[in-house]
Each structure stands twice: as C-alpha cells, then as structure tokens.
Structure 1
C-alpha cells in the first residue's frame, strides 16, 4: 500500500508452507458449483460495518485510471493493489494529484479463498479503529467484483525497508519504534472484550506511514479468540512459514499467544536484519531465523552476534540484551510461558525511552522441550505441515 513496494509483494495473505500446498490449491479450485454458490450467497451478506463507504466499480476505475499498470503498487495471491485518488470529503474519484491518495486492493475473480478473506477484512477493519491498524475507508461488492479501499501508507511495508536491496537501513530508534507500534496494535486486539487473534503477523503485513509509524494491515486471516472457559480456538492451520507458532502448526490450536510468537519473529527480524525464512531456501533443510538465533539469544555474552551489522554503534549492549531477551521470551516453545502483548508493550515502551533502559521481563521456566529438541521439532513441523484453509 505504499510507494516503496516491490513486485510481487504481499499486502495480501500468503498461506504457504510446504510442497503440498499445490494439492490444497487444486482442491479449492475443484469445489463443485453447488458448494461455491452456497458459499458466495453467505459471503454476499452485507458487511457488519455501516460506517464504511460503499464504492461502485466505476468509482474505483475512475480513481485508478482504469487500474492502469503504472498505478500498480502491490501484488499477491489475493490480487493486486493500486494507487488511486478520491475526494477527502465526498470520496468521489478525482484526478491524480488532487484529493487524497488511497490504496485499492482488487480481488482476483477466480479466488475462492479471497472472498472469505475479503469479508473478514471488511468486518474487522470496518469495526476496529486504532492508530496502529490501517484504516479501511470503504469497499466494493458489485456482482463478481470485490475491492477494498484503504488509507495510503507512504513508506510501504516493513519487509521492503528491512530486506530490499538499495534501501537505506532503518536506524535503531526507528526499529524499536516500529516494534512498539506493532506491539501496541496487537495489545489492542487482545484486550478487546471479544479478543481478536491477528494470525498472520509478518514483515510484509506491517505498513509504515510517512513518519515510519507502524500499522497492521490485512485482517483476512484474523479470528475471534477463545471465549468463556475455552482455552483456544481450533482451526485449520493457515499462515506463513517461519512466523507461525509451533503449537499452532502442530495442533491447529490458536490463542493470543500465537500472535506473541509471531511478534517475536518480527522483533528478531528487526534486530538482525535477516528474514524469518529465506525465500530462496524455502522447503529445504536450512534453518529458520529462530533456529539460527536461539543459541545466541540464550547466551547474553553472545547475543550481539545476532545484531544487524548495518546498525553500527546505534545501540548500547544493555539495549540489545534487553530487546533480545524480550524476543526470546516471545519465542518460548510453550505458549504458557510467553508474555502477554500488554507486558511486551510495556517492556518496549521502556526500551524506547531515552531516559532509562528497562530490565528484561522476569525469566520464565523453559518449556519441556530443550534447545536441542526445539531445533529438531521446529524444523520438522514448520517444513512438513501443510497450510490450508
């Protein structure tokens, strides 16, 4: 949704983890007409949020100059994202350079999974408003067309700023500020009376405004959290390899602490400048970022070895150790021993303060899996469990 995105880039959800994903894709395509018709009738129900603008296809064609190629700013499995222009008051389409800039996500007509994600996105972002969530302005549900209209995020995705070649490295203070913004967004979701599990936190789903403030985007995979006496939500495993919590991958049991694990991976990416999983090595026996970093995270004397060399001397040893300790706790194999996002946010806000360096959160007991078992188990489950929907 920003002008820094490379192509292809996932503003949309990427739900892939193993070679068996092709089988699941084929199954989705083979849905018989009766199943598809029933599903689409359900999806065609009016979105719950009444405060969103309902656009026509004609409006959005005018806003993007008929989805002109030069206005394409992102692309993924869901479809494409285009830059457009609308009037800030009436939301009517305007000519380029006038009114306000928006990002318009266009669903592929043949994408069955995308219809469900589209409706989830409208219903969650249409009702939830927070400074660290991307603002959804409106939607279009016109015959076979499904589109979403968002505020435009000038600096694009965190993924681009961490990993794209030729981009100025993010300073240490900016990285901590981004981590704090992400934590604040997740803490908000988890603190709702009917808590929401984000489920697909990754660097490409963290978008940055002109001041590098972070906002969570893409709520297509979000789920309502457990209620009452329930300890978890049972669901088919879907998400992105390298970010998903091991217990979720193994059992399909989803809790807010699943988001905490994913946050730990993103924090580790911010500290190290390394990807959660190298795209070129996906599906091989290569280590994930978590597997590579864990031995250093557990040894305060060696923790500086994980730090991005491009940061130079922008941080103190105590700052690096505090941030690494927080990441390690988020990445605990046992979700019971991970901190809540509220506690994570408090630790990061202390770290972000220029007056003092916070003490790490209290050490928690190690889960039943030792470090050696963790390396083996994590590698096995993440690379052999198929993500499906």
Structure 2
C-alpha cells in the first residue's frame, strides 16, 4: 500500500463469529483482532462445531460457540466441549491447554488478549498457568460485579410501584 494514501474501511469483513467485538464496533483492526479470530478457530478445532450455530438454540441459549465453551469450562465439563467424533481418543491435558489458550485469546478487551508471540509460547508450555490464573481472577471479579448490579436492578424493579402505572385513553 502506498504510504502517502490513506485507507478507510467502510465495511466490516470477516467470518461471523470470528470477528473481534472491537472490530465490529469501530471498524479498526489490529493484531489483537487476529488473536481473537485465532482463539475462535482453536475452539472450532477442539469442539468440531462452528463459531455460530443457531441449532444450539433448541437446547440452550448460546448461539455463539465462545459463550457455550465458557459456560462448559466454568462447569468443569471439558468432556462436553471436545468433539464427540474423537471418541475420547485425545490427550486431556493438551485439550485443556488449547481451551485455556483459546479463552485467553477471545477476551472481550483487546488489551487483555495475549500477543501472537505469547500464544505460541503458551502452546509450547510456557507461561500459560500464570496467565490463566490472572484471567480466572478477573473473570470471577467481573461475574461478581455483574451479579451485584443485576441484584440491584432486580431489587429496584420489585420496589417500583407498578399499581400506579396506568395507560392513558385513546388520543
């Protein structure tokens, strides 16, 4: 690309489910948007499922593979994450490592995602445990804050005087 010319992206391009949230909202990509897509690809490899699958709505609320895997990982149901076509013929430690790397790559904030060089090191066995521990702490804190806000909102709704609400007549 000629450095004297600018390039403005007016359309988002990519595979649905692989596109990082910040790219969807701003149209700006970076190395960390690629890391997000790589994490989704890892999840597809481990699960044998597509990044977006509307057929999952029949059984649960998660259309996005990422949300589905996060829920199963929280429930410690790694066996339910792995592709059934593998017939339990896999190394559980390797699968667990790939899931952890994938979840670190798909964090909502690009600043929290590892660089690709760090992803490579983690897949080679360096630094994953420390990075995972940090992420777990952040996730627990975030879920607690979300629950606290939701309880506050639910409490506010229950105190709201709904009998005072009346619809006005026709206009």
1:296 is displaced (CA, Å) by 1.8
1:371 is displaced (CA, Å) by 9.6
How many Å separate the matches in 1 of 2:43 and 2:90? 15
Map 1:272-351; keep pairs closer than 5 Å: 272-278=47-53, 287-299=63-75, 301-350=76-125
C-alpha contact (below 8 Å) 1:325/1:360 kept by paired residues: no
User: TM-score under structure 2 normalisation?
Assistant: 0.63
Greater length-normalized contact order (CA 8 Å, ≥ 6 residues apart): 2
- Deviations along 1:353-376, one digit per CA (max 9) or x if unpaired, are xxxxx8545223437964997xxx
The structure whose residues are more often helix, as a share, is: 2
- Deviations along 1:330-386, one digit per CA (max 9) or x if unpaired, are 1111111111111111222349xxxxxx8545223437964997xxxxxxxxxxxxx
How many Å separate the matches in 1 of 2:74 and 2:102? 10
C-alpha contact (below 8 Å) 1:271/1:307 kept by paired residues: yes
Structure-2 change in CA distance of 1:235 and 1:372 (3 Å): farther
The structure whose residues are more often strand, as a share, is: 1
Structure-2 change in CA distance of 1:269 and 1:361 (3 Å): farther
The count of aligned residue pairs is: 133
C-alpha contact (below 8 Å) 1:248/1:258 kept by paired residues: yes
Q: What residue is the counterpart of 1:269 in the other structure?
A: 44
What is the RMSD computed on CA atoms of the aligned residues? Answer: 3.4
Map 1:1-389; keep pairs closer than 5 Å: 235-236=9-10, 237-278=12-53, 287-299=63-75, 301-350=76-125, 359-360=128-129, 362-363=131-132, 364-365=134-135, 366=138, 370=143
- Deviations along 1:211-233, one digit per CA (max 9) or x if unpaired, are xxxxxxxxxxxxxxxxxxxxxx9
Structure-2 change in CA distance of 1:257 and 1:298 (3 Å): farther
